[in-house]
Structure 1
């Protein structure tokens, strides 16, 4: 997305030193330009379309009927596992949704968060090459992103992440000006704090679940999908977002602490040469941990643990998998010599207009699903809802791919990116 993730200088990285682990000192003063790293644009594009693949179910649940299968599948009974829900029935649609939930939930949020950290380091190196003091004017850029997130939350989508990323960037930017030792200390502190907080929240949910009187059955869950009384009036939805601001922004503190750790890890991996063709060993190590450890852990918890582990899977294990995906894509393009095929080019176009596409996808989904627009969310609720939502996802994705390709034929940046660049 724009902000630190998008930059005209993003194709330049520091010359990596040989890495045996992430422990050795990385020289922040040694910054030399190299060839454009096309994998960064592709990864941004994948993160944007992947975010839509996750969020589109929220649009369906928010706008659908109270009996929508997604109200149960997304936020369902805390005492039941995903495998248990599938085994309990629901047909092919329930199986497909379970598979998609395993693949998408939290993975692309994590990937997007890492990319913001990488973008922040790209900006720092750009400042250094131009002889400018860091963070300097970057504070203004981060503040603009947070303001854009506030606007996006108020007028478009209550699950906006831009505000959280902007606030996190304000905190991380000065940290990148400190020594490697300080960065490492703060990185590990944030990581331990994030994992501890999330696990404690899930433990509290599990304790509450077990403590619930048996005659009351499963405790009711107050879910964000019922954030609105109705989706028939756009301005009433805006009013509810404003009046329920604290409730609607409960994810921000989580994203902030998570972002502190993942921004710093992403920046560190970029400096270590994750995208350098010569650093195959580093990429394989990250893939081994992210995919070899992350996927079994994430899927195991999702399939067999109860819904009380939902926070851990979304904000911890999915983040581990995201690092594996990052290294996998980086390795793919390193082996191709940075050559983009047709699919890669299409994804890279979305990546270059990431902020615009993020906002556009939420606008389109709102118009398609909510009653103030086409109202399809209520119309498709029922037996074939899964298939309708998947079809709508591909339709919106097609619009994003076409829009980004056509726009970039004439302009260097996306429309929102152009406005942000002028203000910055």
Structure 2
């Protein structure tokens, strides 16, 4: 499209920093991830805390999923223009992403999303080149499955047939190795949500593909119309619904996270894109920093979880046990600190290198077998 899309890296950067706004609550709980889950499921905490958690819960993960679909559509268009077979080597990218996600889960963080993105990307890779009718049909099926899953979970919660939150064990964070062993032992528990939201992820990936193909990121009259519609539906409708389901309590958790939050994500996409496209002045330090985070998204996604673990867990500085009782104040401070470190670090790195550190290793691993096949 004649160069980088102005809003693309900003959107990725916002999604990465916003996703950490969800994860940080688990890191800063005095009893760690399992303590956070137990309190969340029991409805512990005041209304103010619930509303603060609502700001990020599910929305930026939804935005990240949409952005992944947009990235896949861009790669498909590039491959078609070069006359390359599709999906071809893209499937190797998915395999690498699956391996990277597995390492991230085992070594760093319980709620990694890269593994599930890798699985969904294989399906969407075969659909990205199909016609609009096929794509929309798949979106309808995936959306229906997601609503069915959400409906069953909500019905079970309302009737007392199940509960959310307390996993029934304590995940120790006294040592890094103890956390690794626990994540391996309780793999099925911590990976359960990812399997439940595979239909939603597929829907959001395909929505990203459709939005890109429709010109939603363009700085044009067509793009502006799509952006306005996204804001009206995503924010005008999604935010009131999101507030309602949040205040309704834990029984509406699934509707809140897997229906309302993704709807708000589309509104964020439209609003941020429109804002960036209207900025004619030279980008300031904040926008440059967020852009740098977006250009090194995988490095920052992994890096933020590493930093939070080192700051909050007992095997690191153990700040959560000392200050976790302060609740949102401590959580907000940790988010600000880690976000600032990411913005400054990414800005410094991207001024000197074309890719983030994880992206550099990942690109080498992606290209290595291709070079060998060409040489052979």
Instruction: Tell me, yes or no, if the aligned pair for 1:62 and 1:227 is still in contact at 8 Å.
Output: no
Instruction: Report if the CA contact (8 A) 2:296-2:346 is conserved.
Output: yes
CA distance in structure 2 between the aligned counterparts of 1:149 and 1:338, rounded to whole angstroms: 38
Work out whether residues 38 and 338 of structure 1, in 8 Å CA contact, stay in contact via their aligned partners in 2.
no
CA–CA separation in structure 1 for the residues paired with 2:283 and 2:13:
13
Distance of 1:411 and 1:65 partners within structure 2: 35
Structure 1 residue 64 displacement after superposition: 4.8
The verdict on how the C-alpha distance between 1:408 and 1:208 changes in structure 2, with shifts beyond 3 A counting, is same
Q: 1:359 aligns with which of 290, 299, 302?
A: 302
Contact 2:51 2:246 in 1 (8 A): no
Which residue does 1:172 correspond to in 2? 124
**Is the contact between residue 172 and residue 263 of structure 1 (CA under 8 Å) also seen in structure 2?**
yes
**Aligned-pair CA distance for 1:228:** 3.7
- Greater helix proportion: 2
- Give the one of 174, 180, 188 matched to 1:232: 174
Q: Is 1:135–1:177's contact at 8 Å kept on the other side of the alignment?
A: no
Q: Which residue of 2 aligns with 1:199?
A: 151
1:323 is aligned to 266
**Partner of residue 302 from structure 1, selected from 231, 243, 246:** 246
Q: Which residue of 2 aligns with 1:287?
A: 231
Cα separation, partners in 2 of 1:227 and 1:55, compared to 1, 3 Å: farther
Contact map agreement 1:65 1:381 (CA 8 A) in 2: no
Q: Distance in 2 between matches of 1:313 and 1:238?
A: 31
Aligned residues: 364
Work out whether residues 63 and 370 of structure 1, in 8 Å CA contact, stay in contact via their aligned partners in 2: no
Q: Name which of structure 1's ranges 341-350 and 265-274 shifts more when overlaid on structure 2.
A: 341-350
Deviations 1:239-284 (A, max 9, x none): 1111211112102212321111110111101110111122211111
Q: 1-side partners of 2:135 and 2:350: how far apart?
A: 37
Equivalent positions of 1:20-419 (< 5 A) are 33-61=1-29, 63-64=31-32, 74-77=40-43, 85-86=46-47, 95=48, 97-208=49-160, 221-224=164-167, 228-278=170-220, 279=222, 280-303=224-247, 305-337=248-280, 340-382=283-325, 384-419=326-361
Deviations 1:292-342 (A, max 9, x none): 111111111112x22111111111110000000001111112222595332
Residue by residue over 1:69-112, the C-alpha shift from the partner in whole angstroms, topping out at 9 and shown as x without a partner, is x56653333xx9x8xx43xxxxxxxx2x2332121111111111
Distance 1:229 1:263, change over 3 A: closer
Cα deviation, 1:360-379, whole Å, max 9, x if unaligned, reads 11011111111111111111
Cα distance in 1 for partners of 2:184, 2:149 equals 27
In structure 2, the residue matched to 1:25 is none
* Cα deviation 1:120-144 (Å, max 9, x = unaligned): 1011011111111111100000111
Change (3 A) 1:102 1:229: closer
Alpha-carbon displacement from aligned partner over 1:162-216 (angstroms, at most 9, x marks no partner): 101011101110111323221111111111111221122111111116xxxxxxx
Q: 2: distance between equivalents of 1:230 and 1:155?
A: 14
1:21 counterpart residue number:
none
User: How far apart are the structure 2 equivalents of 1:208 and 1:390?
Assistant: 33
Measure, in 2, the Cα distance between the counterparts of 1:57 and 1:135.
38
Q: 1:291 to 1:409 in 2, by over 3 A?
A: same
Q: Once superposed, which parts of structure 1, at least 4 consecutive aligned residues long, lie more than 6 Å away?
A: none
Measure the CA separation in 1 of the matches of 2:52 and 2:363.
Answer: 36
For the residues of structure 1 that align with 2:177 and 2:266, how far apart are their CA atoms?
A: 39
Q: Give 5+ residue unaligned stretches, structure 2.
A: 367-376
